[in-house]
Amino acid sequence: MNEMTMTEPEQKTKDSRGEFMASLTPKQIVEELDKFIVGQNNAKRAVAIALRNRWRRQQLPDSLRDEVGPKNILMIGPTGVGKTEIARRLAKLSKSPFIKVEASKYTEVGYVGRDVESMVRDLVELSKGMVKEEMEVEVREKARDQAIERLLDLLLPPPPGHAGKTGFDSDPNGKQHYDQTREKFKQMLRDGKLDEREVDVDVAEKRTPMIDVVSGAGMEEMGSNIKDMLGSLMPGKTKKRKLKVPEAFKALCQEEAEKLLDEDTVVQEAINRVQQNGIIFIDEIDKIIGRSGQGSSGPDVSREGVQRDLLPIVEGSSVNTKYGIVKTDHILFVSAGAFHSAKPADLIPEFQGRFPIRVELDSLTKEDFIKILTEPKNALVKQYTALLKAEEVHITFKEDAIDQIAEMSAQVNQRTENIGARRLQTIMEKFLEDISFDAPDLEEKNIEIDAAYIQEKLKDIIQDEDLSRYIL
């Protein structure tokens, strides 16, 4: 959208995002990721450079800007080492539209199932929600003022025969008395003295046409469009609901905010964000490698066919959505896979070439587990301590307890399937099971957990390899 035609909320939002992105250097991005993810420095550096390159591209002249494409990333590593978390935290940090999809959920065009273009349509919907939320913040104060006035009209309607702008022209004393009473009510409303009062509010009734469209190639978007078209043909209905004042105020604020926003502006900005800053994380990419040499025959509709369908989207194409055409040329694609039974070279050559940056993530060691348990902002020990604190149970983990959890997790990962950091949660859930269950009824509210306590709770399971396979 041209700068001259931008609305004020949209311009403010764009300016603040531009300043924020300019302040994020690759080192700062890595430092922010370090707060939540342990290790994997190579992967963090790769995504930090990719994100910074987006800002650099925005500084280029128009003639060159469109020629610079995103450097898509392929992450290779076992499950539970932080592949998804790195991409998710990156999107949150950059405030970019982000969607995580599983490659194995899609099928080749021409077969029943989800076509790959639906990931772009889903990203546009998410982006629209983000933009709408941001723009609503800009108009929130005005919407609140208008909602208060509407609520006062419901709580204190004008006397019969005095409604409307000219209703009090013949009775100035009556108008003065009404205005004074209205001001008193406004103050009572702000002080929360009217929270128990109920009012009748007209709420828009959302109606979805009861229609189903037969699935098939490209039918998903067509079905959505038909429902929207029929929904717009049906007259909007309102439903009178009796709500308490706080609930009525919330509903009226939402309604007034939507009136103040221009839908076309929201959609245009959402599409622009997807095209310039969108991130699509394709997980389980190794699951769409064909079963070559495994004696399979017939069409492999969710494997190499999906790679061929993904190729034009990753290369850059135009996808038709309910809000218009979306170009994928500058969307950043991050794909990830464990590649246990296949290798990246088994992907079709054209698809490999579209992911020039390859990063191998390391398996997690006992030392990494200790850091994961204690260092990040969302560390597991902090989470469980906070959860039980809600029951007024104060648990303390001694150093030897942390060491024991890490040791057991590494041991079980080595002996059974390696599921990375997810094993920590399994172990902790198991030995905290009794405390979590009895927490509301415990007399002793201060509990200290040491290595001996954990060994006592898990000794039978750890020693029995078959049992640990099923329980841990």
pLDDT tens digits, one per residue of 420-470: 888 888 888 888 888 889 888 888 888 898 888 888 888 766 666 555 565
- Kindly report the number of other CB atoms within 10 A of residue 49's CB atom: 16
- Per-residue confidence (pLDDT) for residue 295, from 0 to 100: 44
Contact 281, 336 (CB under 8 A): yes
Q: For the chain, what percentages of helix, strand and coil (3-state, to nearest 5) are there? A: 55, 10, 30
Beta bridge partners of 270: none
What is the pTM for the complete model shown?
0.74
Backbone angles phi and psi of 381, in degrees to 5: -60, -40
Taking the CA of residue 281 as centre, how many other CA atoms within 13 Å lie in the half-sphere pointing to its CB?
Answer: 20
Question: Which residue has 């940056």 as its token pair?
Answer: 357
pLDDT tens digits, one per residue of 202-231: 776 655 555 544 444 455 555 555 555 555
d(CA 464, CA 472): 11
Residues 6+ apart with CB under 8 A from 325: 318, 319
Q: How far apart, in Å, are the Cα atoms of 252 and each of 149, 153, 470?
A: 10, 12, 52
- Per-residue confidence (pLDDT) for residue 271, from 0 to 100: 93
Percent of the chain clearing pLDDT 70 (strictly above)? 77
- Per-residue confidence (pLDDT) for residue 230, from 0 to 100: 54
Encoded tokens for 279: 């991130």
Beta bridge partners of 357: 73
d(CA 279, CA 16): 20
pLDDT at 1 over 50: no
Q: What angle do CA 85, 57, 14 make, to 5 degrees?
A: 75
- Per-residue confidence (pLDDT) for residue 68, from 0 to 100: 86
pLDDT tens digits, one per residue of 309-327: 888 899 888 999 889 999 9
Residue 431 identity (one-letter amino acid) = F
Longest CA–CA separation in the chain, Å: 94
Percent of the chain clearing pLDDT 90 (strictly above)? 10
CB-based burial of residue 147 (10 Å sphere; 0-12 exposed, 13-18 middle, 19+ buried)? buried
Residue 455 identity (one-letter amino acid) = Q
pLDDT band at 419 (very low <50, low <70, confident <90, very high): confident
pLDDT tens digits, one per residue of 352-375: 888 988 888 888 888 989 998 988
Encoded tokens for 339: 């590649």
Q: Please tell me which residue, 106 or 385, carries the higher pLDDT value.
A: 385
pLDDT at 42 over 70: yes
Beta strands at 394-397 and 357-360: parallel, antiparallel or unpaired: unpaired
Give the mean model confidence (pLDDT) for residues 260-288: 88
Backbone angles phi and psi of 413, in degrees to 5: -60, -40
The overall average pLDDT reported for the chain is 79
- Per-residue confidence (pLDDT) for residue 269, from 0 to 100: 92
Encoded tokens for 426: 């399994």
Beta bridge partners of 202: 240
